[in-house]
Amino acid sequence: MYKNSNFKIFILIFGVFISFASILAHTEPVVLLDQDTSSKNISSLIEYRYRDQKFAGCSPNHIDGLEDLEWHSISTDVLRVKRTSFGNWLRFSVQNSESTIQSRILLLGWLNVPDIQLCFFDKNGKFISLRSGYSNPTADEKILTTLPHFKIDLQPNENRIFYLFVLSNEDINYRIQIMGLEEFELHKRLRLITSYSIVGIIGFAILYSFFGYYRFKNSTFIFSRYTCFQSSPLFTFFTDALLRKFSETQTIYFDTVISYS
């Protein structure tokens, strides 16, 4: 009887020790950057908070207030967080494992994001806040809006926590990637070429319909012109779909190249 009691106490103490050990061993997910990291899907390494109405928007006080609160992890390759009317908070940690400065582009894989803020404290403790989204276009986005993105620079061997405040029109259901500067420029050029190609095709069809109508006096050409106008939103939809597919394919391609190099 005495031995059974001691054995139960031992099992209880051992269970408590294991529980505390697992808590202490828990570390935040970290995005590791080195010279070989070109394009990487970091959705599974992002944490989120669902309800934080009192911390709406980037500010030093808000970041200080968010640091010690509970955060939820993401385990899938696509970030899925239910939208709130006052915005959503996301965060992730990036570590530069090289002895040189590493520059990357943080890219959100969805256009319908009116406002997104990226904020962090740099290595010297200075608070920095940046904005993106279609409500904050840059000088080269007046005609064609690109996906929301930020340029991030990390000093040698620096570990930094980034906070994202997202104001969205719908639930968050897309990937977030880190890619190299060259890969991002390629992404922009492809989007530009694809969009202008579609505009050129539609413009040629409209001019051809005018020519056919005045040359042959056939109303069929006018109908074809109307069809082109009607199909323009469909072309836009396929453009976005192709570009999203390109981003996913690009990620798989560069990951494959890195694994074989």
The count of C-alpha atoms lying within 13 angstroms of the C-alpha of 6, restricted to the half-sphere facing its C-beta, is 3
What angle do the packed helices 220-260 and 181-216 form, to 10 degrees? 160
| Max Cα-Cα span within the chain | 107
Containing 91, the helix (H) or strand (E) segment is: strand 88-96
pLDDT one digit per residue (tens) for the chain, 261 residues: 444 555 455 455 545 444 444 333 345 678 888 777 778 899 999 999 876 567 888 999 999 888 888 899 888 899 999 988 888 999 999 999 888 899 999 999 888 888 999 999 988 889 999 998 877 766 665 555 678 899 999 999 999 999 999 998 899 999 999 998 888 888 778 877 877 788 888 877 777 777 776 776 666 655 555 555 445 554 554 455 454 544 444 444 344 433 444
Task: Give the per-residue pLDDT at 107.
Answer: 92
Residue ranges of domains in the chain: 26-180, 187-250
Q: What is the pTM of this model?
A: 0.68
**What is the distance, to the nearest Å, from the Cα of residue 53 to the centroid of all Cα atoms in its chain?**
22
Task: Give the per-residue pLDDT at 68.
Answer: 81
Q: From 153, 110, 104, select the one nearest 133 (Cα to Cα).
A: 110
Which contacts qualify for 228-235: CB closer than 8 Å, 24 or more apart? 228/202, 232/202, 235/198, 235/202
CA 151 to each of CA 18, 119, 125, 177: distance values in angstroms, whole numbers, following the listed order: 42, 12, 19, 12
Containing 214, the helix (H) or strand (E) segment is: helix 181-216
Task: Give the per-residue pLDDT at 14.
Answer: 46
Spatial separation of the C-alpha atoms in residues 12 and 227, rounded to whole Å: 75
- CATH code for the domain defined by 26-180: 2.60.40.2380
Which residue type sits at 41?
Answer: N
